[in-house]
Structure 1
Amino acid sequence: MPTIETTRARHIDPVLARSFRVSARCGCFTQAARSLNIKATQLRKQLAQLETQLQCSLFNPSDNGVSLSRDGLEFQAHLIALAHERDLPVIEQPLIRLAVAEPILHDILGRDLISLVRRNASVRLDIVTLDSELSLQAISADVVVWLAGTDSPLPGPSFNVGEPQRLARLGYVPHISKRYSRVAARPESLDDLADFLLVQWQHDRQLDAFNPWNSLVDQRLAAVVRVHAYELMLEMIRSSACIGLVPHYLSQLDRGLVALPGLFEQPMERQVWMAVNTESRGQPDVQMLVELIENTFNERREWFQA
């Protein structure tokens, strides 16, 4: 059988050599493609090109993915001997900083951000959750998504940003779990709420937009749960027969919840805003993140108020 000479290994395209090294390390073409931030089909083409140049097969299929063939092991040894593993620089990925309101991250953006990192395992993404106006003022980020009143995006970030973009208007109504409420017994007035346990996310307690709900909760001498975590509030509604104030889209996101409209005469609304740091808005990775957020909200347009 032909052997791979060191001189031939020395003249291999560094891109092909890197694709081989990552594939050998991962033992899985899909994971290797994610690490290289390329499609699996492109990786396979590169490896096929490399095998053509070397005139041998470098990988064998195995029960757990792929393993190096005898020629693959030999080629790997030549690369190590040529110090490719040490001398080829690691391409540093720019750090993208995203600051996002906790409910928006949990309900709307989380799934698409997970898809982003599944497609691109080499991404450097720093995600900070915003749970108060104070945290919004304290952070610095490349992209920030926050909740504000319906009149303006203020108060907004304290660092320099471009013109804020309105992404959605959210209406808030009390919700209850379907499994804890028969249709005939669901509350239709504020007086009907006396027989139900209420749950409140503490962050909402400071918002003027939620005064009707907050006043009701503050008047309670019993049957009130206050929590500091948004996700815990949702779980209390789902699993503890609580009624809580959440965005209207929750009944679209979770079919086990039902909205209770008409309990309050005054509407309770907030708007979702996005802005980009003026210093980093031209970076391709930042633009990629902005487009992802815009597409996510566009795809869920029917969830939001007009």
Structure 2
Amino acid sequence: MSVMESTFVAAIDPVLAQSFRVSARCGCFMQAARSLNIKSTQLRKHLAQLEAHLQCSLFNHHDNGLALSREGLQLHAQLIALAHERDLPVLEQPLIRLAVAESILHDILGRDLVALLRRNASVRLDIITLDSELSLQAVSADVVVWLAGVDSPLPGPSFAVRDPQRLARLDYLPHIAKRYSRVASRPDSLDDLADFLLVQWQHDRQVDSFRPWNTLVEQRLAGVVQLHSYELMLEMIRCSACIGLLPGYMSHFDRGLIALPGLFDQPPQRQVWMAVNAQSQEEAQVQMIVELIRNTFEERREWFEN
């Protein structure tokens, strides 16, 4: 194939042409597959079909990646010219707004959201962290995951939603790093906490069910650290011999931390709720996020069983 006629190039299957153009732009099959939201094996199949149709090789493979062959360069130029000639618009992806309680995003959903983005580089996702009741009331989103009481999702988002769905019930217990607490010296009562540094996430001061813990912290005249960062609070517990109130699943998330049961008569409880904006509930991308969240909680069901 020495010369590619524009009419011949225009007749190429649009799916194969798009696979080639994205691969040429990215210079990496894996990245191109992510951008197209398909598997790399499917992308390679498309490119093989295109090369068989054109009866030539379109790429030269090197140790540090791939480059277009002479014929590939020619085809790429023809496709770009054809796109300009047709004035083809860029396919815009809908913007999906996901609002999540900060602790749930960090501990439970973060890893699966990263995996989603690794598979689909073309997604448009706005992730909003919720760190207070005020932020929940003020947010506008397509999908919301928040923490509230066990029996009621209120207070919830202020916009119209479908019936909120319960995802999990969480018990909260004081936690300490295993390396800083031998079994014989672990505190068994509230009085035993006098010898330990306590750490509190400022957001938890607003939670009514945490009142026994919050009262204990407020009565402290020394040995208290209060933080506005959830992640930093976890790091303080891991590395500074602090004791802090955390969800009961934390030993699954970080096996270096251990719960201290029995310090309170009943562990405080909260419920994880999810709701979908009534105006965007039927959109495919919104449903994709909803299914991801449901599957994540289902896969971690043992984290929440008591």
TM-score by structure 1 length? 0.97
Which residue of structure 2 aligns with residue 89 of structure 1? Answer: 89
* Whole-Å separation in 2 of the counterparts to 1:149 and 1:242: 27
Which residue of structure 2 aligns with residue 256 of structure 1? Answer: 256
- The offset of 1:24, in angstroms, is 0.5
* Whole-Å separation in 2 of the counterparts to 1:242 and 1:277: 40
Letter of the structure 2 residue corresponding to residue 39 of structure 1: K
Residue 231 (1) aligns with residue 251 (2): no
Cα distance per residue 1:8-55 (max 9 Å; x no partner): 212222222221111001111111011011111221121112112211
Which residue of structure 2 aligns with residue 281 of structure 1? Answer: 281
Secondary structure class of the residue paired with 2:35: helix
Equivalences for residues 1-40 of structure 1 within 5 A: 2-40=2-40
Which residue of structure 1 aligns with residue 99 of structure 2? Answer: 99
Structure 1, unpaired ranges of 5+: none
Change (3 A) 1:167 1:45: same
Letter of the structure 2 residue corresponding to residue 140 of structure 1: S
Letter of the structure 1 residue corresponding to residue 15 of structure 2: V
Secondary structure class of the residue paired with 1:205: helix
Which residue of structure 2 aligns with residue 294 of structure 1? Answer: 294
- Are the aligned partners of 1:99 and 1:127 in contact in 2 as well (CA < 8 Å)? yes
Which residue of structure 2 aligns with residue 216 of structure 1? Answer: 216
Equivalences for residues 60-99 of structure 1 within 5 A: 60-84=60-84, 87-99=87-99
* Whole-Å separation in 1 of the counterparts to 2:89 and 2:289: 26
Which residue of structure 1 aligns with residue 125 of structure 2? Answer: 125
Residue 143 (1) aligns with residue 143 (2): yes
Letter of the structure 1 residue corresponding to residue 246 of structure 2: V
* Whole-Å separation in 2 of the counterparts to 1:285 and 1:42: 21
* Whole-Å separation in 1 of the counterparts to 2:85 and 2:70: 19
- Are the aligned partners of 1:79 and 1:85 in contact in 2 as well (CA < 8 Å)? no
- The offset of 1:76, in angstroms, is 1.5
* Whole-Å separation in 1 of the counterparts to 2:52 and 2:89: 26
* Whole-Å separation in 2 of the counterparts to 1:32 and 1:84: 21
Which residue of structure 2 aligns with residue 56 of structure 1? Answer: 56
- The offset of 1:6, in angstroms, is 3.1
* Whole-Å separation in 2 of the counterparts to 1:303 and 1:201: 22
Secondary structure class of the residue paired with 1:145: strand
- List 4+ stretches of structure 1 deviating above 6 A: none
- The offset of 1:86, in angstroms, is 7.5
Change (3 A) 1:85 1:25: farther
- Are the aligned partners of 1:4 and 1:54 in contact in 2 as well (CA < 8 Å)? no
Letter of the structure 1 residue corresponding to residue 120 of structure 2: N
- Are the aligned partners of 1:171 and 1:305 in contact in 2 as well (CA < 8 Å)? no
TM-score by structure 2 length? 0.97
Residue 134 (1) aligns with residue 134 (2): yes
Cα distance per residue 1:97-126 (max 9 Å; x no partner): 100000000000000000001000000000
Letter of the structure 1 residue corresponding to residue 30 of structure 2: T
Secondary structure class of the residue paired with 2:297: helix
Cα distance per residue 1:147-191 (max 9 Å; x no partner): 001121100100000100000000000000111111111111111
Secondary structure class of the residue paired with 1:82: helix
Secondary structure class of the residue paired with 1:98: strand
Letter of the structure 1 residue corresponding to residue 301 of structure 2: R
Count of matched residue positions in the alignment of Structure 1 and Structure 2: 306
Alpha-carbon RMSD: 1.4
Give % identity: 77
Structure 2, unpaired ranges of 5+: none
